[in-house]
Chains A and B, each alone.
Chain A
């Protein structure tokens, strides 16, 4: 048992004292602050990661909201456009209708006045014809009285005309 012969109590005692002093000093001045700051850093990293995750989720939510808003706005715009178009169409149609009505009434009026004029013109013509015939008759009558032959010619002429008509 050579190894127990080699065992030195003095070295053992000195080592014990040095090691315990070293342990206490290191625990106080090195290990405690090192382990604390390592843990702090780790928890810091962890919280930063979870925060980033949260931010990402929030961002996603926001983006979803945005998309929704845009969609809604687009729909609204489409609806408005549609409405406007409808109104426009209606207005055009209305205008067309009005115009048709107006023209129709104008045409009717014009036709009526044309008719009236025509009547008036016909009446005048009739009157003129009558006067003319009366004039002719008058002149014929006047001539007949002066010349029997001429009278006959005239009547003959008139008759010719009549048959021709």
Chain B
């Protein structure tokens, strides 16, 4: 348990440093919030908005929010740096300057430019505009999106997962120098590594070539799994439910299997033997589309959709607590919602593993298809 304790200690330390560095931002919302009751979540629309807000990436790391006696909305958490590539170059400031405003009413001035945050996206106002004006579909008319390289909540999640994986497995690697069989937390990690190797890599890629791809498969497997599990913690990460993250993962898989494609693979893809010559170009287009578009797309959409769906369903079921209050009373509604949420969370635990497994498995399968050398008949 030493490793776990140490990494927990490390994590706590890292969090503390982050919190103190970003100056404990327990700030107050301005009155012009969209919800005039201080941001309480009560109606169906508010719940739907809240879930949407959770599913989107966030520029603050809010642990919880509450309203004080004066009706002011208080947010407990810490702000994160915002890094933008605007029309006048790099701009950086802390997200606390938006005061948790998410509808574009708080403007931040930097380098003579005004920035507003609308639905977790940062917009740069046009040169002559002083406030954001919206059309009837709530799209900003006088502002445009900027390239946003902020350390958002998802990036923090990625970094935490990366640190966890790195420290866990380098500790395990160090253990092997002194003993054959790891002890403590390493004993949990070792079978997982063996599982990825023996159940995912070997059967799908083949005994001869699997070694080369093991680092990628292991990294992806643990990365996705840890992030999925972090999504189930009350910290409220939704990293693998960010389309950008899954696109990135699928793209790396695509690059891996395209660059390692064997001669046979390309021959079979582009000029299928044993098929009438007239059909071959059509088949080549289909095969190429399959390998370059459909397969990565199915990879990225599956992970994204599963996690997003899981999060929204769990949050929706949790919101039953509020919606059923009038019918079943506080205790009844809470009980129903508690047991349903518990049940769904257990399923989500399974899904968290299953999605990591499937992503790794399908990556291995596609890599295996690409590196396979056919016996010529």
Contacts and interface: CB of A to CB of B under 8 A. Distances in A.
Interface of A: 3-4, 6-16, 18-20, 22-23, 25-27, 29-35, 37-38, 41, 44
B252 interface: yes
A27 B243 CA distance: 26
Interface in B102-153: 121, 147-152
B173 A14 contact: no
A22 to B, nearest CB: 5
Given A6-B56, A22-B165, A11 B219 contact: no
Given A10-B148, A30-B169, A35-B197, 7 more contacts: A6-B243, A11-B154, A12-B248, A15-B245, A19-B249, A34-B193, A35-B211
B321 interface: no
A30 B247 contact: no
Contact of B173 (A11, A16, A30): A30
Contact of A31 (B159, B169, B252): B169
Contact of B149 (A14, A29, A31): A14
B34 to A, nearest CB: 20
Contacts of A13: 149
A22 B57 contact: no
A7 B244 contact: yes
A8 B244 contact: yes
B244 A22 contact: no
A122 to B, nearest CB: 117
Contacts of B57: 8, 11
Interface in B230-249: 242-245, 247-249
A37 B245 contact: no
Nearest to A18: B158
Interface of B: 56-57, 83, 121, 147-152, 154-155, 158-159, 162, 165-166, 169-170, 172-173, 176-177, 180, 190, 193-194, 197, 211, 214-216, 218-219, 223, 242-245, 247-249, 251-252, 304
A31 B215 contact: yes
A31 B218 contact: yes
9 contacts: A11-B242, A15-B248, A19-B223, A23-B219, A29-B169, A31-B214, A32-B173, A33-B176, A41-B180
Contacts of A15: 154-155, 158, 244-245, 248
Contact of B165 (A6, A9, A14, A26): A26
A12 B214 CA distance: 24
B218 A26 contact: yes
B144 to A, nearest CB: 13
B239 to A, nearest CB: 9
A11 B244 contact: yes
B267 to A, nearest CB: 30
A110 to B, nearest CB: 99
A165 to B, nearest CB: 130
A30 B162 contact: no
A30 B248 contact: no
Nearest to A45: B180
A26 B168 CA distance: 10
A38 B216 contact: no
A12 B219 contact: no
Contact of A29 (B150, B152, B170): B170
B257 to A, nearest CB: 15
A30 B149 contact: no
A35 B193 CA distance: 8
Contacts of A29: 166, 169-170, 173
